[in-house]
Amino acid sequence: MRRTTIDGIPVHRIPSTGPLRFGLRFGCGVRDETYRSLGASQFVERLTMERAGADAGAGLVSYGSLSDLEETRFYGSGAPEEVARFLESVCRTLSDLPLDRLDHVAGILEIENTAPVDVRAAQALSARYGARGIGLAGQRGPGPRALTADMVREHAASFFTRGNAVLMLSGPYPEGLRLPLPEGARPPRPAPRRLTGHVWAQRDTDGIALAQDTPIGSAAARMGHCLLRERADRLLRERLGISSHVEMVEVQRDALSIERIMVLDAADGKEEVAAAVLWGEAVRLAQEPPLASELTEYLTWLRRTWTEQPDPWARLQEASNTDLFATPYLDDATSLAVLERVGPQEVSRAMRAALEGALLVVPHGVHPPLTGLDGRRLAHTAVCEVWDTPLPPGEVFRRPLRVRARDRGARGDRLVLTPYSLVHGHDDWYHEYRFDEVVELEQWGWDRTVIARCGCSLDLVRGSHTGDERVRAALDRAVPSSRIRVRTATR
């Protein structure tokens, strides 16, 4: 593998014969957006392909693009001169997007409605981090048509730059290749604030997800999570037959840590069993060191895979991550040497540390009986709701009398307006929407929708509570205009 630079952009290349395979990567995805600008990276990607795709020559065997949670990529293969032409077109287009095609692309994105990551993992990230950073994976946002040309142009100028790009090449060198990207630096990625941990929560999902963050260079944690996936898969799929497979989704949390999310499907009515098995195996691995034979089996499989079925493209990607995300890179031989030094006790300690901050997410209506590391019943959390505690003091707004008379469930429903928040609650629980943590206030004619930092939303509909005009006025005054979006008069 060779590393060079072209126009200030790092290039990782493996020389070989045949068509030239390429991947121009940008460290920009949903995690780098805001609730308001959700979808901006996809817009940049699609608008760029509108022009660069038209410029693609017949010698380009294949080409495409993608934009997910962490990166945006333009990729393909073909004759070196055609690859060079295509990449130069991509780079030039990023500085001059065809924004007249904005409405056309918005329509396509609305129809496709693609998710940046596995939907089960997305729900876990949203519950864990709220409506910011990697937590935006589980948010829908205002929708593609809410993004303006200025928002898309500003996003491209901020993230699609030389300092936030890297090129991967496998094949003959494309002579005369130019990458005319604008100047710019790699964006800072501070560690996101975790909202909760060592608990379980219910979400709108059709599977089970166990999210844990670990040090990015921890060989013990890497091995532990692979063992956990293998154990859970054998129990749930092979022995019990209630899950088709267990997968592991990895998301970089920051430069020092990685979020590993175990996701699985479960047969109808077997969600509680599946959740209990996954959590139970994680606890057992954290409390009881794995057998030495398990480590040997994993290392044998890894050694055979890397030796008999080497994947140069995967190695290129891992190496280029160093330039894109500042993550450490070890070649196969070094990685194996590090893993071989890991003992059972180290694996158990790493898994215990990860489990202490873990979040298990299950579908609504599922109540698995789980035990935590301390031997007590694992706490259930709604992440941001407060239970069995009196509502904060403030001005109280109840449902209209006629509604309370015919609907017993509405009798305990109330809004509480405090000097710094709007609280929605019942007799035994409440959710507080602090004005300084509102990420978006949508105005739908008279109605309002409040989207909170945690990712939850609250609808204020005209006539839903007595005195709601005062609540609406308070919201409009308290939320900065930069976080207010005027929507169409009807939903």
Give yes or no: residues 156 and 53 share one domain.
yes
Q: Is residue 373 part of a domain?
A: no
Q: Is-contact 64 154, C-beta < 8 A? A: no
Residue 274 belongs to what H/E stretch?
Answer: helix 271-287
pLDDT of residue 255: 83
Query: Which pair of tokens denotes residue 155?
Result: 């996003």
Give yes or no: residues 166 and 206 share one domain.
no
pLDDT of residue 72: 97
User: Which parts of the chain have pLDDT scores under 70?
Assistant: 57-59, 382, 489-491
Render 321-375 in DSSP notation, one character per residue.
Answer: HHHHH------HHHHHHHHHT--HHHHHHHHHHHHTT-EEEEETT-----B-TTS
Nearest to 32 by CA among 134, 117, 144, 171: 134
Query: Which pair of tokens denotes residue 236?
Result: 């749930």
Q: Is residue 380 part of a domain?
A: no
Query: Whole-number mean pLDDT of the chain?
Result: 92
The Cα–Cα gap between 345 and 220 comes to 9
Query: Which pair of tokens denotes residue 321?
Result: 């991550």
Render 1-50 in DSSP notation, one character per residue.
Answer: -EEEEETTEEEEEE--SSSEEEEEEES-SGGGS-STTTTHHHHHHHHHHH
Q: Is residue 260 part of a domain?
A: yes
Q: Is residue 491 part of a domain?
A: no
CATH number at residue 405: 2.30.29
Q: Is-contact 22 65, C-beta < 8 A? A: no
Q: Residues for the chain: how many in total?
A: 491
Q: Which amino acid is at 360?
A: L
Give tens-digit pLDDT for 277-318: 999 999 999 999 999 999 999 999 998 888 777 788 888 999
pLDDT of residue 433: 95
pLDDT of residue 58: 63
Q: Is residue 371 part of a domain?
A: no
Give yes or no: residues 7 and 114 share one domain.
yes
Q: Which amino acid is at 479?
A: V
Helix, strand, coil fractions of the chain, as percent rounded to 5: 40, 25, 35
Give yes or no: residues 407 and 336 share one domain.
no
Give yes or no: residues 149 and 13 share one domain.
yes
Q: Is 262 left (phi over 0), alpha (psi -120 to 50) or beta?
A: beta
What's the per-residue H, E or C state across 162-200?
HHHEEEEEECCCCCCCCCCCCCCCCCCCCCCCCCCCCEE
Give yes or no: residues 151 and 39 share one domain.
yes
Q: Which amino acid is at 323?
A: D
Give yes or no: residues 29 and 143 share one domain.
yes
**β 385-387/395-398 pair status:** unpaired
The Cα–Cα gap between 455 and 482 comes to 18
pLDDT of residue 346: 97
DSSP 380: B
Range of the domain at 479: 385-486
Q: Is residue 414 part of a domain?
A: yes
The upper half-sphere exposure of residue 334, i.e. CA atoms within 13 Å in the direction of its Cβ, equals 6
Q: Which amino acid is at 222?
A: R
CATH number at residue 63: 3.30.830.10
Give yes or no: residues 356 and 394 share one domain.
no
Task: Enumerate residues 6+ apart whose C-beta is below 8 A from 133.
Answer: 31, 189, 192
pLDDT of residue 344: 97
**Burial environment of residue 412 by CB neighbours within 10 A (0 to 12, 13 to 18, 19 or more):** middle
Give tens-digit pLDDT for 37-72: 999 999 999 999 998 887 776 667 788 999 999 999
**β 447-452/438-444 pair status:** antiparallel
Q: Is residue 184 part of a domain?
A: no
Residue 385 belongs to what H/E stretch?
Answer: strand 385-387
Give yes or no: residues 230 and 278 share one domain.
yes
Give yes or no: residues 157 and 59 share one domain.
yes
Count: domains in the chain = 3
Q: Is residue 194 part of a domain?
A: no
Give yes or no: residues 246 and 359 share one domain.
yes
Give yes or no: residues 230 and 327 share one domain.
yes
pLDDT of residue 386: 81
Instruction: Give the pTM.
Output: 0.89
